[in-house]
Amino acid sequence: MKLPEEFLERMGSLMEMEEYNDFLKSYSFPRHYGLRVNSLKCDIGKFKKIAPFNIKPINWTSDGFYYPEGVNPGKHPYYYAGIYYIQEPSAMFPAEVFDAKPGEKVLDLCAAPGGKTVKIAASMKGKGLLVSNDISSSRVKALVKNIELYGIKNAVVTIENPQRLAANFNLYFDRILVDAPCSGEGMFRKDDASIKSWQKFKCEKCTSMQKGILDSAHRMLKPGGSLLYSTCTFAPEENEIQIKNFLENYRCYELQKILAVNGIEEGRPKWCDGYEDIKKTVRLWPHRLDGEGHFTALLRKKGTISNSSLSYEDSLKAPDALKGFCLDNLNMDIPDGIIQKGSSIYGLPLKLPSMDGLKVAKFGWYLGEIKSKRFEPSHAMVMALDKKDIVNTIDFSSDSKEIARYLKGETIILDKEYDKGLYAICVDGYTVGWSKVERRMLKNLYPKGWRKMN
């Protein structure tokens, strides 16, 4: 791997020679591969028993595991059931420290493609409101897909500049996560493309952008709330110095201590004019642990957090077509907080503030469409349901030919006759999609854009 000379010179000037040599050696070592279990769908203990490949716990997460190089968990049916999210091990750390709680109002400000949103949602257990935002409409497509794949019911997705978002959400959130756009130096070993990107997007271009994002986050965070800032870069200007400057600009914040254990190290005061409090932040280094480079800081806004009502007071009446569908096909009540946008029906447990002027990609749990007074359920609906919630189900084993064919969108001839109707298809008890069945013929309703190619 050929690293940029400018990068090497800067890191050499920052580090003592012994550490710099260890740092350079890490680039000759293999990268590490990780996945995080989606506890909205699968208990951690159960996953350990059913994991289809060897796994080893990642010691700075409660639900993350290493898997061996050469294994492709993205092709296994459990991935299509949303049981786990594939993520670089160090990138799991910020959302773990963030520690969102059920019932809170939470913002993931730079959310795409959704790894941290998925973890936050699992911590919230479907209660409260999660707003996931990204400024890029192309990246938001992946974010929406991941929210649907992992069965998240309480997320709203916006496509906005943080300044515009702040105008609608003034002092609104209990917690805000800023996984800031950065120069990406910590990902050089993981992805050669990040080196090419660095040539155009060095830290000098990132620091002002990060400052603007943090300024907007401040406007949206309640007194008493928590703000987590993270990057996947080594540059002090984007890390220790950025946080020091933010604390000087906003005296109403104080750093919260993050434990530096398991190879994780404290932030470095000598890189920000000797500011000792920066030791409460942490760095993950590729030469100190089995992961890539990351920086994380947790701040608390002084004051007492105010609790607001989490009920959906202005809920619309559920359309008759949705009521009829739920009565015929589900073993559960109609979701709380019905929102209708044109023919699209969403569920959300919490009243939103005004969304006027904002670009919204998703208004909550996308339930389906009203077409000619008939309700057609969405793929997102079934992915967020348990097998027990659905009247008719067909369950295939993860190693069966049938589930492989289903995920490719093929029609299947079943080995026995079934009553005519709508069925949820499951893999080892976990929902993966809808189908229509008549006797032994299974008509596949798996979405075209989600299908397994090989």
Query: Rounded CA gap, 407 and 405, in Å?
Result: 5
The number of angstroms, rounded, from the C-alpha of 261 to the middle of its chain's C-alpha atoms is 24
Query: Rounded CA gap, 144 and 141, in Å?
Result: 5
175 contacts 104 by C-beta, under 8 angstroms: yes
Residues in Cβ contact with 242 at an 8 Å cutoff, skipping those fewer than 6 apart: 207, 210, 211, 214, 229
Q: Is the peptide bond before 113 cis (omega within 30 degrees of 0)?
A: yes
Output Rg (C-alpha) for the chain, integer angstroms: 23
Write the secondary structure of the chain as one string of H (helix), E (strand) and C (coil). CCCCHHHHHHHHHHCCHHHHHHHHHHHHCCCCCEEEECCCCCCHHHHHHHCCCCCEECCCCCCEEECCCCCCHHHCHHHHCCCEEECCHHHHHHHHHHCCCCCCEEEECCCCCCHHHHHHHHHHCCCCEEEEECCCHHHHHHHHHHHHHCCCCCEEEECCCHHHHHHHCCCCEEEEEEECCCCCHHHCCCCCHHHHHHHHCCHHHHHHHHHHHHHHHHHHEEEEEEEEEEECCCCHHHCHHHHHHHHHHCCCEEEECCCCCCCCEECCHHHCCCCHHHHHCEEECCCCCCCCCEEEEEEEECCCCCCCCCCCCCCECCCHHHHHHHHHHECCCCCCCEEEECCEEEECCCCCCCCCCCCEEECCEEEEEEECCEEEECHHHHHCCCHHHECCEEEECCCCHHHHHHHCCCCEEEEEEEEEEEEEEEECCEEEEEEEEEEEEEEECCCHHHCCCC
Phi then psi for 250, rounded to 5 degrees? -125, 95
* Cα angle 56-189-199, degrees, rounded to a multiple of 5: 150
Q: Tell me which of 206, 232, 272, 326 is the catalytic residue.
A: 232
Active site residue 252: no
Q: List residues with catalytic annotation.
A: 232
